[in-house]
Amino acid sequence: MNLPGLIVGSFIPDIEVPILFLFFSEGIDNHFILHSLVGALTIGTLISTLATVLLYPIIASLLFRLDKVKVKEACKLTPVLVFSCMVGNVFHILLDLPMHPYSLILWPFVDPYSIVGVLVIVFAVDGDIKLGFLIANILTNLIMGLFMVTIVIKSRRNLWEQILVGNLNS
């Protein structure tokens, strides 16, 4: 797997959120085609691959003072990079699935409102879906934060390079 591809792929589905908000601030949900398997496997993978190859080396080396040559080496266009971008997109959707009151995962084949996240249902006190959504998001973000803290504590040496580029020798 290619770590930069996984990182970019896992973020790309959410680029539609600010775009949808800017153009359709009222009356439209904040997830659309990139949160479906069809969109993630096609458009999301394409956008992720382009962003990883063209933008990631520049941004990662500038913001985190990483060796630009190492980052560019990790971001070369390869089948593994494309596959990693695709996996990142799909994992994002799978992570969103249990914690949203609707899911476009099977769009356009299944109505998104017929798929309610299991965590939303579990935490919906007195049937309050909005409260269930809030609790599910807090819980998920707390768990992800604990994973991040564990990674930071465990590997302090060359931390940013290990997180953002990975091990090029493997």
Distance of CA 50 to the CA centre of its chain: 16
Per-residue pLDDT of the chain (170 residues; tens, 9 = 90+): 899 999 999 999 999 888 877 777 666 666 778 989 999 999 999 999 999 999 999 999 998 888 889 899 999 999 999 999 999 999 999 988 888 887 888 888 888 778 888 888 888 888 888 898 899 889 988 998 998 888 777 766 777 777 777 765 54
CB 166 within 8 A of CB 4: yes
Geometric angle at alpha carbon 40, from 117 and 122, rounded to 5°: 5
Query: Does the predicted TM-score (pTM) go above 0.85?
Result: no
Query: Which among 46, 56, 47, 92 is positioned nearest to 76, based on CA atoms?
Result: 56
